[in-house]
Amino acid sequence: MEFDGADVFKIIQAQFIAPGIKRFILEAPRIARKQRPGQFVILRVNETGERIPLTIERSDPEKGTVNLVVQSIGKTTHLLNSLETGDSILDIVGPLGKPSEIANFGTVVVMGGGVGTAMAYPTAAAMKRAGNRVITILGGRNKDLVLLEREMREVSDTVFVTTDDGSYGDRGLVTDKLRQLIENGTRIDLVLAVGPIPMMRAVAEMTRKERIRTVVSLNPIMIDGTGMCGGCRVLIEGKSEFACVDGPEFDAHRVDFAVLVQRNSMYRDAEKRSMDDFGPELEKRAMELEMACALEAKR
Amino acid sequence: MSTTVPKKSSNPIPNRERIKMPRQHMPEQPPLIRAQQFTEVNLGYSAELARQEALRCIECAKPSCTDTCPVGVKVKDFVQLIVDGDFLGAAAKIREDNVLPAITGRVCPQEDHCEGGCLLKKKGESLGIGYLERFVADYEQQHFDVKNIVKAPPTGKKVAIVGSGPSGLTAAGDLVQRGHQVHVFEALHEVGGVLTYGIPEFRLPKKIIREQVDYMRAMGIEFETDVVVGRTVTIDELLEEEGYDAVFIGTGAGLPQFMGIPGEHLNGVYSANEFLTRINLMHAYEFPRYDEPMVDFRGKNVAVIGGGNTALDAIRSALRLGAGKAYVLYRRSEAEMPARIEEVKHAKQEGIEFQVLAAPIEFLSDGKGWLSAARCQKMELGEPDASGRRRPVPIAGSEYEVPLSVAVIAIGTSANPIVQSTTPGLNTNKRGYIQADEISQRTSRKGVFAGGDIVTGSATVILAMGAGRRAAKGIDDFLKSGQW
């Protein structure tokens, strides 16, 4: 942010919550005051940085803080996760996107895959407050990558956990658990799925047959986040819509996931080059921090 | 201002001689050199060239240059100050009506305004008013100390400006000169709106925008970036909770239009807004020093669809990023092109190929999700349409293919709904643009004014500035009278 010169957004707290995944508590009073479940921010770490969209896990309007959960994937997220308490971020803008539609639907199944859980969490909480029965299914590659289980338990009637390697909860995918629920005859009025694209696509395919209303939160490449550039356009039943202003949540059964995957791969070469140029140093730094974090946790 | 008695001209050349003097050429970088870099094409007049050019002014009794200027710059007066050698005086004279002279001196379509109205044009070539304005503004930047800015006595009134593009900056400048406290909100991380994200470095260097904005800061205007009004804070909150007495909405024509033809979602198909934002705002042309990437199309074919300034900015940028072949595909003929004449000339010099009376009807895939070609159709001109320009009519059986790696769609924009949809009682027209009075720029909401592209749809920098100017007067009247 610039307010007569050089203001920035302060990191009140930065802490790894899983390997390569960090939670930031940031001072952003305007955003904290307005954030609603389902919305996101766009940030730019420094002067030469790119703008990337990130999930808002929760916010505290009184303290004027916003929580972000960030997984190290490319250069920017690695750079972000190398920042610590007391550091700052140059630009954060939001809250962006349409808030989730919250109503008493009946029974809502909330599915969170990896860091997607951070985006699903505020919506799950709001769904619970609206009187829904909330069944949560959390998934991750392994135990460490199952996020926000404690928080999700607080806002869910039931929580199931699956891991790819069986290191925690049931071995398998979140969709395996969803299928079980459907086969057991559990009444499901709405599914919210937030996670990697293959997961969201699999959920959409499964619920389409069952005619269960399903909402997914999409994560295309974005720049401005206000509808100005059209870079985040997604194909919704053959029609272009902008994830930043028309979404990020869409009816899963209308989304063309193949086009989303294709468009998200547009800068793969450049992203690789960025990581090759800057990655080793950042990764080393992130690893050191992780180890320090792990040591501290042991103590 | 108006009280001064017209002084005798210090120009020693008789009028009949002046009309014979040739227009001074703008020094510019050689085409083949500049086509490889993003530094500014035009190099600017020297003091000597400026004075030579200023001497051409025939000092009309009723100067139409001022009448045709959307902000009413007193052209004859500032040109005479150049003749006198009083360049700072000339700058101050322009600033009475135009707070962004270094910008308009570069991007204004002068042929449609001041220079179009210039009497010299009837005799040959119009006075180089834009070039002179640019010279004066650049001279001021180098020689004027902003500490000498005289501030108006404060009125105690606070005005919020939404959007830091041409209309917002102009409204802000005029309002602060009337003693109001002005706070400008910008959604992006840099101030300037379309000047910053839309116009490339080679036509309007970022340094110039920053200097003009710094001048405005010195005038007392506050800027706050990273605020999307409508999302981060609403118009009602600004008025009711943050204590603003009036709000000006200058959010621009936000949403890029697509053509609705097959293949628009392919990788390599961009909106002009995205293409230019990546390059201008995000510095993708300096990748990997800057992180924002751009598809690597070095040596490959790139086309822009459209014939406006945005289209030419995009394709000339593509050329500078190493495009092998760079095409403009425009569905009407060159005569109907809305771009500035100078930009078309520059683009041709740089080697851009114009395919007019042609439009794509489909983008073709390479089978892996990337653009490989555009299937185009030839057009002929029919009867004039609502815009007064002759309508393009497809010629049956004229389809042909252009192999392309990147296509940039620059066919216009539509209204960004964020502010309208979050401001109850703010009336819009059928197309979603905000309704505002043509003179006061008042909207349907008390204390809320709007102007620029968010009211008119896509137009030019100077027309938006004109709206900002009218709004500043409308706001000032409202703040003084309290009447709505």
pLDDT in tens, A225-238: 999 999 999 999 98
Contact B189 A90 (CB under 8 A): yes
Torsional class of B225: left (φ above 0), alpha (ψ -120 to 50), beta (otherwise): beta
Edge-to-edge strands, sheet with A40-44: A88-89, A9-18, A21-27, A65-71, A52-60, A40-44, A91-96
ipTM of predicted complex: 0.89
User: For residue B396, how many other CB atoms are within 10 A of its CB?
Assistant: 8
- To the nearest whole Å, the CA of A281 is away from the closest chain B CA by 16
Name the range with the highest mean pLDDT among A146-150, A190-194, B119-123.
A190-194
| Contact residues on chain B for A259, CB-CB shorter than 8 A | 265, 369
pLDDT at residue B2 in the model: 47
Which residue in the set B187, B268, B416 is minimally distant from A93, CB to CB? B187
| Contact residues on chain B for A43, CB-CB shorter than 8 A | none
Which residue in the set B222, B291, B369 is minimally distant from A274, CB to CB? B291
User: Tokens 């390059």 label which residue?
Assistant: B279
| Contact residues on chain B for A36, CB-CB shorter than 8 A | none
CA distance B18 to B54: 10
Which residue in the set B222, B255, B278 is minimally distant from A4, CB to CB? B222
- A48 in Cβ contact with A120 (< 8 Å): no
Chain A and chain B share a number of CB contacts under 8 A equal to 142
Which residue in the set B225, B287, B417 is minimally distant from A1, CB to CB? B225
- To the nearest whole Å, the CA of B42 is away from the closest chain A CA by 27
What would the mean pLDDT of A139-154 be, rounded to a whole number?
93
Contact A228 B256 (CB under 8 A): yes
| Contact residues on chain B for A265, CB-CB shorter than 8 A | 267, 369
Q: Give me B471's structure tokens.
A: 């709004």
CA distance B272 to B305: 9
- pLDDT-derived band at A261, boundaries 50, 70, 90: very high
Q: Is the pLDDT of residue B76 over 80?
A: yes
- To the nearest whole Å, the CA of A224 is away from the closest chain B CA by 7
Contact A2 B416 (CB under 8 A): no
Contact A50 B290 (CB under 8 A): yes
CA distance B276 to B265: 18
| Contact residues on chain B for A94, CB-CB shorter than 8 A | 228, 231-232
pLDDT tens for residues B34-46? 998 999 999 999 9
- To the nearest whole Å, the CA of A274 is away from the closest chain B CA by 7
Q: What is the DSSP letter of B154?
A: P
CA distance A158 to A133: 9
- B484 in Cβ contact with B180 (< 8 Å): no
Which helix (H) or strand (E) segment holds residue A208: the answer is: helix A197-210
pLDDT at residue A270 in the model: 85
Contact A93 B226 (CB under 8 A): yes
Contact A263 B296 (CB under 8 A): no
Contact A223 B277 (CB under 8 A): yes
- A75 in Cβ contact with A275 (< 8 Å): yes
Q: Give me A175's structure tokens.
A: 């969709």
- To the nearest whole Å, the CA of B460 is away from the closest chain A CA by 17
Contact A30 B271 (CB under 8 A): no
* Cα three-residue angle B426-B161-A55, rounded to 5 degrees: 80
Contact B191 A2 (CB under 8 A): yes
Contact A224 B187 (CB under 8 A): yes
| Contact residues on chain B for A93, CB-CB shorter than 8 A | 187-189, 226-228, 232
Contact A48 B191 (CB under 8 A): no
Q: Return the residue in B231, B264, B371 with the most chain A beta carbons within 10 A, the one to mutate for interface testing.
A: B231
User: For residue A108, how many other CB atoms are within 10 A of its CB?
Assistant: 27
User: Tokens 């920098």 label which residue?
Assistant: B461
Contact B282 A50 (CB under 8 A): yes
| Contact residues on chain B for A76, CB-CB shorter than 8 A | 291
pLDDT tens for residues B135-188? 999 999 999 999 899 999 999 999 999 999 999 999 999 999 999 999 999 999
pLDDT at residue A286 in the model: 63
- pLDDT-derived band at B386, boundaries 50, 70, 90: confident
Q: Return the closest-CA partner of residue A26 out of A75, A72, A94.
A: A94
The chain B residue lying nearest A245, using CA atoms, is B418
- To the nearest whole Å, the CA of B188 is away from the closest chain A CA by 7
Which residue in the set A34, A95, A228 is minimally distant from B254, CB to CB? A228
- To the nearest whole Å, the CA of B287 is away from the closest chain A CA by 9
- pLDDT-derived band at B1, boundaries 50, 70, 90: very low
Output A296 or B36, whichever has higher pLDDT.
B36
Q: What three-state secondary structure class fits B97?
A: coil
pLDDT at residue B451 in the model: 97
Query: What are A112's strand-pairing partners?
Result: A138, A194
Q: Return the residue in A229, A257, A259 with the most chain B beta carbons within 10 A, the one to mutate for interface testing.
A: A229
Contact B224 A3 (CB under 8 A): yes
Single-letter amino acid, residue B337:
M
Q: Is the pLDDT of residue B279 over 80?
A: yes
Q: What three-state secondary structure class fits B442?
A: strand
Contact A2 B226 (CB under 8 A): yes
Which residue in the set B264, B282, B289 is minimally distant from A223, CB to CB? B282
Residue-wise burial string across A240-276, b where 16 or more C-beta atoms lie within 10 A, e elsewhere? ebbbbbbbbbbebbbbbbebbebbeebbeebbebbbe
Backbone angles phi, psi at B328, to 5 degrees: -105, 120
| Contact residues on chain B for A273, CB-CB shorter than 8 A | 288
Contact A50 B225 (CB under 8 A): no
Contact B228 A271 (CB under 8 A): no
Q: Give the rounded percent of residues in chain A with a pLDDT score beyond 70.
A: 95
CA distance A74 to B378: 44
Pairing between strand A170-171 and A158-163?
parallel
Output A277 or A61, whichever has higher pLDDT.
A61
pLDDT at residue B466 in the model: 94
Contact B291 A49 (CB under 8 A): yes
What would the mean pLDDT of B441-450 be, rounded to a whole number?
98
What would the mean pLDDT of A175-201 be, rounded to a whole number?
96
Single-letter amino acid, residue B59:
E
| Contact residues on chain B for A1, CB-CB shorter than 8 A | 189, 224-227
Q: Is the pLDDT of residue B423 over 60?
A: yes
